[in-house]
């Protein structure tokens, strides 16, 4: 099984196939509940979607390449997937959006089960790193503002999340030289400056709130309370 708190980011408290001793240390409460999921050992992919009245206007499916905390945490480097995988994922995304009549952004993490089908692990009601794959002429802005259709994959290759440099500093030293090539758009000459500004901001937030760099990246959008409505 995989055990994790309902309210968490970056997989900071996730227990993958925990030992009996680890399970005994858990103390879930009504205000801080935990969930248990079947562990799926297969291929993992993620997707970012924009929907308007239940219709999918933009969708990007991608896979994690590099994770925090020795491969157990959230991914910070990603690559686009083959078109056939997107074709597998898209009907599920469309069904979910249509059933809920969703308008806005949401994302999914999925893994392939033993039966060969992708199963959803979790859903994030926010934008995620899949949107890095859309180029300036992809129509993503029109999808957000007007519900127009945007191409599923506008940029092929490997990209890095906007917070990755801050999270990678201090670890994976051999990976640091690759930060620029992974995070820059073709022809983008200000990426090093932008990444440095982002790193400084995250460091400042972490220092002010006495939290980790990971926690600082999502501190302003975190919601750790059960709904009573």
Q: pLDDT tens across 133-183, in order?
A: 887 778 888 888 888 888 655 455 555 554 555 455 444 444 444 444 445
Cα 120 from Cα 112, distance rounded (Å)? 9
| 166 three-state secondary structure | helix
Cα 157 from Cα 153, distance rounded (Å)? 10
Kindly report the average pLDDT of the chain as a whole number: 79
Closest CA to 10 of 82, 57, 68, 91: 68
- Residue 45 pLDDT > 90: yes
Q: Where are the domains of the chain?
A: 1-39, 41-161, 162-216
Over its C-alpha atoms, the chain yields an Rg (Å, rounded) of: 18
For residues 218 and 9, is the Cβ–Cβ distance under 8 A? yes
| 173 three-state secondary structure | helix
- Residue 79 pLDDT > 90: no
Of 61-70, 116-125, 126-135, 173-182, the range with the lowest mean pLDDT is 173-182
pLDDT value of position 170 = 44
- The pLDDT of 90-95, averaged and rounded, is 94
DSSP state of 47: E
41-161: CATH topology: D-amino Acid Aminotransferase; Chain A, domain 1 (3.30.470)
- Residue 85 pLDDT > 60: yes
Of 6-10, 179-183, 223-227, the range with the lowest mean pLDDT is 179-183
pLDDT value of position 216 = 82
The two structure tokens encoding residue 146: 């007007």
Cα 160 from Cα 167, distance rounded (Å)? 11
- The pLDDT of 111-136, averaged and rounded, is 85
Read off φ and ψ for residue 88, nearest 5 degrees. Answer: -70, -40
């Amino acid at each position: 099984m995989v055990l994790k708190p309902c309210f968490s980011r970056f997989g900071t408290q996730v227990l993958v196939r925990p030992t009996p001793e680890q399970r005994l240390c858990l103390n879930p409460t009504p205000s801080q509940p935990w969930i248990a999921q079947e562990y799926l050992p297969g291929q993992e992919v993620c997707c970012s979607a924009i929907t308007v009245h239940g219709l999918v206007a933009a969708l990007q499916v991608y896979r994690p390449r590099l994770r925090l905390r020795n491969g157990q945490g959230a991914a910070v480097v990603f690559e686009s997937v083959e078109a056939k995988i997107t074709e597998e994922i898209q009907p599920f995304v469309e069904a979910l959006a249509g059933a809920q009549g969703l308008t806005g952004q949401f994302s999914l993490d999925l893994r392939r089960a033993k039966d060969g089908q992708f199963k959803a692990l979790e859903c994030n009601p926010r934008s995620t790193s899949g949107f890095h794959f859309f180029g300036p002429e992809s129509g993503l802005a029109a999808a957000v503002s007007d519900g127009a259709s945007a191409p599923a994959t506008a940029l092929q290759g490997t990209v890095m999340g906007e917070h990755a440099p801050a999270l990678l500093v201090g670890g994976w030293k051999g990976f640091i030289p690759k930060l620029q090539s992974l995070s820059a758009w073709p022809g983008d000459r200000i990426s090093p400056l932008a990444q440095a500004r982002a790193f400084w901001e995250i460091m400042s937030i972490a220092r002010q709130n006495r939290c980790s760099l990971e926690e600082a990246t999502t501190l302003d959008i975190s919601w750790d309370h059960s709904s009573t409505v």
